[in-house]
A = this chain, B = another copy of it.
Amino acid sequence: MDFYFDFASPYGYFAATRIDDIAARHGRTVAWHPILLSAMFKISGMKPVMDQPLRGAYLLHDVPRFARLLGVPVTIPKTMPLHSLVAARAFWWLQPADPAKAHALAKAIYHAHWGEGRDMATVEQVAEVAEPLGISAADLAAGVQDQVVKDRLRAETERAVQRGVFGAPFILIDDEPFWGADRHDQIDQWLARGGW
């Protein structure tokens, strides 16, 4: 299964708290793919939610409500939307050599940003959650400037578009697409029944 998300999306955060457990119940694993929605919006013609007057107000009401239902912490960040370039690159810098650490960093970034409301835009801010995982700030700073890493993030975003991804969270079971954090029950059923 492939899990496409942007660290800027609270619904991606909700999915991140659940998707591994749902997959594991059915003997599946999940490949995490942070991407940049801003790049995707240029293709899809969609606008960021917070730039849409009524949708933005709904999100500010829906996100805390959704979090209470799931029983996960949430704090609306002061700075929105998150500029998620550094965070996404940090993941793709770590991922080839140590996928487990990249996964742990992604969870830590999501928790800091959406669980605690902390900005995660700069190398220094990402380093605060990376260092407890044994990742040095100096290595991180160099890694997110590596051309291979920059290219990987761009390629992941382009590949996502090729696969039909237009928003986040977006989950592909093999090639079966599910968009949104409110489709977890459908994903669970799809895995249990092998489709319907």
Contacts and interface: CB of A to CB of B under 8 A. Distances in A.
A177 B61 contact: yes
A180 interface: yes
Contacts of A186: 69, 182
Contact of A46 (B43, B52, B69, B182): B52
Contact of A166 (B58, B61, B165): B58
A164 B44 contact: no
Contacts of A52: 44-46, 166
Interface in A145-170: 161, 164-167
A170 to B, nearest CB: 9
Interface string A169-196: 0000000010110110110010000001
A164 B57 contact: yes
A51 B166 CA distance: 13
A27 interface: no
Interface of A: 43-47, 51-55, 57-58, 61-62, 65, 68-69, 161, 164-167, 177, 179-180, 182-183, 185-186, 189, 196
17 contacts: A43-B53, A44-B52, A44-B54, A45-B51, A46-B47, A52-B166, A54-B164, A55-B166, A57-B164, A58-B164, A58-B166, A58-B177, A65-B196, A68-B196, A69-B189, A69-B196, A185-B185
